[in-house]
Structure 1
Amino acid sequence: MLNLFERLRKRICNIDSSVREEFKKLYIAYKTSTNFVDIVPQKRRLRLSLNMSFSEIHDPKGICKDVTNIGRWGNGDVEFGVSSIDEIEDAMYLIQQSFNKHRDED
């Protein structure tokens, strides 16, 4: 999981020079003006929360879960898991959408 996290972390931090990483007690936040993705490390996967409403996400592979009104660590209504390096490209496609949304709001 650490190797997977390190690779994903590097890709997220390289999206833009404005991206900041903050280690919280239960998750790692990536933000510009506000969090756009949070990573909750778990035993068998990384759980990612995107800070946007579920209706806004373009998810052609159907990997996202609608967690609107469900209490979870992390921000946003979109959640998905990453458990292998093969899934990083799909994850980055989704994370980029959340980043673009928050960058445009600045």
Structure 2
Amino acid sequence: MSHNKLTMTELTSCLKIIGDPTRFLILKLVEKKTYCVCEFVEMLGISQPAVSQHLRKLKDLELITEERREQWRYFSLNSTSPYFPMVRDLLQYSGDQDERYLQVIEREGLASC
């Protein structure tokens, strides 16, 4: 399987975006399933505008996809992104036993979308 090569500028832009702990955590979450904005707010314990800002940056880089269902917006990992192979590899380095990840997962299902 051949990967399209990314420029240094593209790579460093991607690393800058995913280097934020909250954005990396969002990617870790959407690696496994699709989440609604309100679920991120509840699980991450941050405001809806802050969540939307993180999601916008990930979406601008096409790392995640957005799907509208009625008034809600749902997000998934974009496996067609040119950055996907690198992001997938980095996500594999972060185990599912990370303390913050486990704390966030415990809050899953608390949101009433």
Higher-Rg structure is 2
Return the structure number with greater helix share.
2
The structure with the greater share of residues assigned to strand is 1
Q: Which one scores higher on RCO, CA 8 angstroms, separation ≥ 6?
A: 2
TM-score category by the smaller chain?
A: under 0.3
TM-score where L is the length of structure 2? 0.27
What TM-score do you get using the length of structure 1 for normalisation? 0.28
